[in-house]
Structure 1
Amino acid sequence: MVQWISFTFVLMAIVSQTAEGKRDKVLYCSACMAIADELKHSISQTDPKKTIHVGGFRLNPDGSLTDKKVPLARSETHLSELLDGVCNNMSDYALYEDPDTKQRSYRRFAPRSSDGGNFPDFKNFQFSGPEGSDALKFACESIVEELEDDIIALFAREDEDVAHKLCSEVSAHCKNTAFQRADL
């Protein structure tokens, strides 16, 4: 009985050390870049003519409401809705190894309807089944949970190179890697 209890404590210590270990840089950098790419694509698919009313519900001294219209695509409400579903797209990504540099990253292999059905060359992708996309989805959800407000703020401002700012400067997931590229 004592051996079983001590074995359990040793096992729990090993598991806790593993869980607190460093994050996989390739996985988290790729997840961050994928979030930026997916949001950028979703925003581009939104009708630029659509607007949404924003503002407070306070009355001005003259009895009127302060209300303004902003483009729907970059509104906080719309960005929050897009962010809620962005991690569901991680099943469209797989581990890719560059044939020249042997650098590994997760890249989108599934074409979007707007791509015209252009499939990439699959010979450099490593499909590890659902575990691979599950790990990427988990990394995506972790990043979204940690940085939701920062992600929304960056995309609302229409900054240039949002992926670099988000993944290198804000989250630092891609800070010291060669993954600092705009395309996935």
Structure 2
Amino acid sequence: MKEVVLLLTACVLFLLLPSSCQAARQGQDIRCGACRALVDEMEWAVSQVDPKKMIQTGSYRIKPDGTQSIKEVPLARSEGNLLELMESVCDRMQDYGERMDAVTNRKSYMRIRSRNGEAMDLSEATLDTRITGSLKFACETIVEQNEDELIEFFSHETENVKDKLCSKRTDLCDHALKIPHDEL
């Protein structure tokens, strides 16, 4: 009797394993896609702020030597501006659709609405509110759990933020998965 139960348990696990592996991979794809879209949206939003605008940061208290520790930093990359951008960046996940990569057989996410009103090629994209909802939820989770890392990366101009943040720092994307460095 024990052997029959063990055999049935093994069969059930064997049948469920592929679907659970597929669900885990799909979750990984959404988290990775949300991170990469988040980076694109943050970089774009930072680029829209006038680079000449500066903001004073530091303390207005006067030190014993009579000086203040105030410095000017670009507004676009100030902590206050970045925090403000992070409050609304996940709302832009509604502008993304899903596509299946023929080479890797994995899902990736692409912008389906242009920022400037130009027509876009949507032939490879799947448009679905469940997808945008999942991306938005994943984005909000990433922002909540990685706020300090996001501020660290975006407060300085850094190259390959997608790879550094999404793969190396947070492990949201597979290191082995080669995702093209696309400009959305």
Aligned-partner SS, 2:98: strand
Name the counterpart of 2:122.
Answer: 122
Letter in 2 for 1:165: K
Name the counterpart of 1:172.
Answer: 171
Task: State the Cα deviation string for residues 140-163 of structure 1 (Å, max 9, x = none).
Answer: 001000001101101112111111
Task: State the Cα deviation string for residues 4-26 of structure 1 (Å, max 9, x = none).
Answer: xxxxxxxxxxxxxx9xx857011
User: Partners in 2 of 1:119 and 1:177 — Cα distance?
Assistant: 33
Aligned-partner SS, 1:124: coil
| Cα distance, 1:109–1:179 mapped onto 2, change above 3 Å | farther
User: Partners in 2 of 1:63 and 1:36 — Cα distance?
Assistant: 41
User: Partners in 2 of 1:86 and 1:179 — Cα distance?
Assistant: 25
CA drift at 1:112: 0.6
CA RMSD of aligned residues (A): 2.0
Which consecutive residues of structure 1, in runs of 5 or more, have no partner in the other structure?
Answer: 1-17
> Equivalences for 1:128-147 in 2 at 5 Å?
128=128, 130-147=129-146
CA drift at 1:98: 3.4
Aligned-partner SS, 2:72: strand
Name the counterpart of 1:50.
Answer: 53
TM-score, normalised to structure 2's length? 0.80
Aligned-partner SS, 1:55: strand
User: Partners in 2 of 1:177 and 1:119 — Cα distance?
Assistant: 33
User: Partners in 1 of 2:177 and 2:133 — Cα distance?
Assistant: 24
Contact 1:74 1:155 in 2 (8 A): yes
Letter in 1 for 2:139: C
Letter in 1 for 2:114: P
Contact 2:29 2:106 in 1 (8 A): no
Check if 1:95 corresponds to 2:94.
Answer: no
Aligned counterpart in structure 1 of residue 82 of structure 2, from 63, 79, 83: 79
Q: How many residues align?
A: 161
CA drift at 1:122: 1.5
Contact 2:54 2:73 in 1 (8 A): yes
Name the counterpart of 1:9.
Answer: none
User: Partners in 2 of 1:53 and 1:139 — Cα distance?
Assistant: 34
TM-score, normalised to structure 1's length? 0.80
User: Partners in 2 of 1:65 and 1:100 — Cα distance?
Assistant: 57
Contact 1:94 1:132 in 2 (8 A): yes
User: Partners in 1 of 2:102 and 2:166 — Cα distance?
Assistant: 24
User: Partners in 2 of 1:119 and 1:102 — Cα distance?
Assistant: 27
Aligned counterpart in structure 1 of residue 43 of structure 2, from 40, 54, 62: 40
Task: State the Cα deviation string for residues 15-69 of structure 1 (Å, max 9, x = none).
Answer: xxx9xx8570110000000010000000111000101010013212244432111
Percent of pairs with identical residues = 41
Check if 1:111 corresponds to 2:114.
Answer: yes
